[in-house]
Copies of this chain bind each other. A is one copy, B any other.
Amino acid sequence: MFVLGIDPGLSRCGYGCVALDGGRERAVAAGVVTTDRELAVPERLATLRGDLRELVVELAPDVVVVERVFFQTNVRTAMSVGQASGVALLTASEAGCDIAEYSSNEVKLAVAGYGSATKEQVQRMVATLLGLGQPPRPPDAADALALALCHIATSRTSRLGVVGVARRAGAGLPAGAGGAAGVAR
């Protein structure tokens, strides 16, 4: 299974693809798509779409995972992040990929174990989980790999959660544990 994480942005859009081979995660590709700040926004969106489409065709991911952005926390770049996330979701949808979305807090919780982890802690955990000597660079690429790892971890928890409920009906899994709330379809 190939999972492609996308950390949407108009100036810098991180991507990171993780393969799941026999229960072990492996980094397949990671990097950043950049667009020229001198160009007009519509042209930059078209560039972003072209580059993301090439990635999706080349990597043929089973799932594309896009960070869910909240505007309250990101007012200055909100418009361009929203536009970039729209283009990322559209590109994945038109390519027929499954799509999942997670918030930054969900990623931190899944990858580093708690929702208030720092960016550096998440990046060190990404390196550890993928067996890399050091955190992937640039940080945008590491963030995108973290999204892919979050989806893999959440899917795993979700499957275990369902088994647990079936075996021990009413045994009280915490509300929302392993839920697929972040999965867009």
State the A residues within 8 Å of B (CB).
40-43, 45-46, 49, 69-72, 75, 78-79, 81-87, 89-90, 92-94, 99, 184-185
Contact = CB atoms under 8 A, between A and B. Distances in A.
A184 B83 CA distance: 15
Contacts of A99: 40, 42
Oligomer: number of copies? 2
A41 B81 contact: no
Given A71-B71, A71-B75, A72-B75, A42 B90 contact: yes
Contacts of A69: 79
B184 A89 contact: no
A84 to B, nearest CB: 7
- Which among A41, A75, A184 has the highest number of chain B CB atoms within 10 Å? A41
A75 to B, nearest CB: 6
Contact of A185 (B43, B86, B184): B43
A99 B78 CA distance: 21
A10 to B, nearest CB: 9
A89 B45 CA distance: 8
A46 B93 CA distance: 7
A79 B89 contact: no
Contacts of A89: 41-42, 45, 83
